[in-house]
């Protein structure tokens, strides 16, 4: 039997635009269909495009055998393809191996412009555009956006939450690239919650930080705070990004009280978790069988008066970024330190400090919380700072490029990409860059997610997840009116 095998991928292109348009979460309606039968192709676009053209490309020589228009709206797009060269009355696509390419084009004014998703508590500044509504009570913390386009999790926005609702709802919300909730509901059904038994009004987990697993970005690590019978003030969980429940990954440890963020990396074939907690601490722990193992070692000892760990992140080169604030209310300086990969991999107890950090970035006086960094695919590093009441320091700052070996400075007004004219209180919230370089930010105080784009031209080729490959089988004999006679 002859078959047509498809590998789906997408190419998104944008002219000067704020939020760089790209498509993700490609889905096909059937794993196997008959030649000429309708096939449904769905995909999300993170920002509205002007037009979309879908092309069917032969794998053997990259020749184009079919081309037809598709929608390019922000959010979910659906195209029904009838297997013909023009998606109309033209010839059927010949037998062979093919792939799908979607070209999305858009042109918008360049510059840092926001889109937003929030509850009724949000206070938007012009020219904000609210594209979704998050329920009242949403208390978003850190976010992670898996960036491997070969994985099912690609492009989803995974947001930890410490929502003050029923204890079992502390967990993750899974947002689509358009900031709508993955299950199509109002978002109050959450994923990656602790799978144990809760005692209502007594037990809870607050998910503060998260990261993807270095072996498989469909799986997520979470760290947080706990008041739970079997956990003395901390929580580490592991699970698939959209599972309802996660596994307890604490490994029996009792020294991780008040965990704020987690990063998991591979060093010499072994996975290690880096967990920052309140005060001057980054614990490093080996991972065995998706459980913390060995003895956690605090690898930080800074001389600055009582740093309070808020975020821990790695770039693609293995450099470690530590985001902090000071506990003293009289000196509310946030700071970010970076140590290079070689230093981090051999770090012993108390071996990381200001002197051997190759990045030492101090925020202006009045900037309090710095929850973490966002690193774009191009290596640009951003951070968000909260703080003063008059808005002179709070906002998103550009720190530099990850390729810069030395970066020691105190930030000023020219480093601030976006100022916040609205409430940010003392919590900055999570920050992350998506596949196309847009920066997303969670404002816990006003229960919202905002996205900012740098503008400029871009082109992205995205391969659909392997689980979404499909085949077209040739027509059965009966359909061709064949018969057998004696």
342, with CB counted inside 10 A (0-12, 13-18, 19+), is exposed
> Which residues neighbour 149 within 8 Å (Cβ) at sequence distance 6 or greater?
9, 24, 155, 435, 462, 463, 464
Q: Is 239's pLDDT higher than 80?
A: yes
CA distance 280 to 296: 15
Residue 364 or 460, more confident:
364
Mean pLDDT of the chain: 79
Tallying the residues shown for the chain, one arrives at 486
Most confident range, picked from 131-135, 277-281, 399-403: 399-403
- For 84: left if phi > 0, alpha if psi spans -120 to 50, otherwise beta; the answer is beta
Q: Is 313's pLDDT higher than 90?
A: yes
- Domains of the chain and any CATH numbers: 3-109+461-480 (2.60.40.10), 113-454 (2.120.10.30)
pLDDT tier, 486 (very low <50, low <70, confident <90, very high otherwise): very low
Contact 333, 365 (CB under 8 A): yes
pLDDT of residue 238: 94
Q: Is 196's pLDDT higher than 70?
A: no
Of 137-146, 396-405, 443-452, least confident by mean pLDDT is: 443-452
Nearest to 332 by CA among 389, 381, 265, 372: 389
CA distance 341 to 327: 28
pLDDT tier, 485 (very low <50, low <70, confident <90, very high otherwise): very low
pLDDT average, residue stretch 192-211: 75
Angle at CA of residue 250, ends 249 and 253, nearest 5°: 160
pLDDT tier, 271 (very low <50, low <70, confident <90, very high otherwise): very high
Global confidence as pTM: 0.86
List, for residues 402-422, the tens digit of each pLDDT value: 999 999 999 988 899 887 755
- The pair of structure tokens assigned to 56 is 């069917």
Q: Which residues pair with 116 in a beta bridge?
A: 130, 450
Whether a cis peptide bond, with omega within 30° of 0, leads into 127 is yes
Cα 328 to Cα 96, 130, 163, 279, distances in angstroms: 68, 36, 27, 11
Residue 484 or 221, more confident:
221
Of 72-86, 115-129, 222-236, 358-372, least confident by mean pLDDT is: 115-129
Of all residues in the chain, what percent carry a pLDDT higher than 90? 30
Residue 316 or 258, more confident:
316
- The pair of structure tokens assigned to 116 is 């937003």
List, for residues 291-305, the tens digit of each pLDDT value: 999 889 999 998 765
- The pair of structure tokens assigned to 60 is 């053997």
Of 211-225, 262-276, 303-317, 396-410, least confident by mean pLDDT is: 303-317
pLDDT average, residue stretch 353-370: 90
Burial 445-483 (b: 16+ CB within 10 A, else e): bbbbbbbbbbbeebebebbbbeebebebeeeeeeeeeee
If you search the block for the tokens 């998260």, which residue do you land on?
Answer: 210
Q: What is the CA radius of gyration of the chain?
A: 24
Classify the C-alpha dihedral 283-285-290-293 as positive or negative: negative
DSSP per residue over 72-96, as a string? --SEEEEEEE-SBTTSSSSPBPPSS
Q: Is 199's pLDDT higher than 70?
A: no
pLDDT of residue 261: 94
Most confident range, picked from 321-335, 404-418, 436-450: 404-418
> Which residues neighbour 66 within 8 Å (Cβ) at sequence distance 6 or greater?
55, 56, 84, 85, 86, 87, 90, 93
pLDDT average, residue stretch 17-24: 64
CA distance 364 to 335: 9
């Amino acid at each position: 039997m002859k078959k047509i095998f498809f590998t789906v991928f997408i190419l998104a292109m944008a002219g000067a635009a704020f939020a760089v348009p790209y498509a993700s979460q490609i889905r096909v309606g059937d794993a196997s269909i008959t030649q000429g039968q309708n096939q449904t192709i769905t995909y999300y676009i993170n920002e509205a495009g002007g037009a979309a053209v879908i092309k069917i490309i032969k794998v053997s020589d990259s020749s184009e055998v079919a081309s037809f228009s598709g929608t390019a709206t922000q959010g979910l797009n659906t195209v029904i393809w009838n297997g013909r060269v023009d998606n109309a009355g033209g010839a059927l696509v010949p037998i062979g191996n093919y792939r799908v390419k979607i070209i999305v084009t858009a042109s918008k004014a360049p510059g840092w412009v926001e889109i937003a998703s929030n509850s009724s508590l949000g206070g938007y500044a012009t020219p904000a555009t609210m594209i979704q509504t998050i329920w009242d009570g949403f208390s978003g913390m850190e976010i992670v956006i898996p960036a491997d386009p070969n994985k099912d999790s690609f492009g989803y926005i995974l947001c930890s939450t410490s929502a003050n609702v029923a204890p079992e709802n502390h967990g993750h919300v899974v947002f689509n690239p358009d900031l709508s909730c993955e299950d199509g509901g109002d978002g109050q059904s959450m994923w990656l919650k602790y799978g144990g038994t809760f005692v209502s009004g007594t037990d809870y987990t607050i998910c503060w930080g998260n990261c993807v697993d270095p072996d498989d970005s469909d799986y997520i690590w979470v760290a947080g705070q706990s008041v739970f019978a079997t956990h003395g003030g901390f929580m580490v969980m592991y699970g698939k990004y959209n599972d309802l429940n996660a596994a307890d990954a604490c490994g029996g440890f009792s020294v991780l009280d008040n965990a704020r963020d987690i990063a998991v990396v591979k060093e010499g074939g072994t996975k290690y978790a880096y967990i920052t907690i309140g005060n001057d601490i980054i614990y490093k722990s080996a991972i065995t069988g998706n459980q913390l193992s060995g003895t956690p070692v605090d690898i930080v000892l800074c001389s600055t008066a009582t740093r309070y760990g808020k975020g821990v992140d790695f770039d693609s080169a293995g450099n470690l970024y530590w985001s902090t604030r000071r506990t003293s209310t009289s000196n509310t300086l946030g700071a970010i330190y970076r140590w290079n990969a070689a230093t981090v991999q051999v770090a012993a107890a108390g071996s990381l400090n200001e002197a051997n950090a190759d990045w030492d970035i101090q925020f202006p006086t009045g900037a309090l919380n710095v929850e973490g960094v966002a690193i774009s695919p191009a290596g640009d590093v951003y951070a968000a700072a909260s703080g003063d009441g008059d808005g002179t320091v709070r906002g998103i700052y550009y720190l530099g490029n990850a390729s810069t070996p030395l970066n020691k400075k105190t930030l000023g007004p020219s480093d601030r990409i976006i100022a916040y004219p609205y409430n940010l209180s003392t919590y900055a919230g999570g920050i992350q860059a998506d596949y196309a370089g847009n920066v997303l930010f969670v404002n816990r105080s006003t229960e919202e997610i905002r996205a900012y784009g740098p503008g400029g031209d871009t082109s992205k080729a995205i391969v659909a997840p392997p689980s979404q490959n499909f085949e077209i089988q040739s027509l059965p004999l009966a359909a061709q009116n064949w018969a057998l006679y004696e």
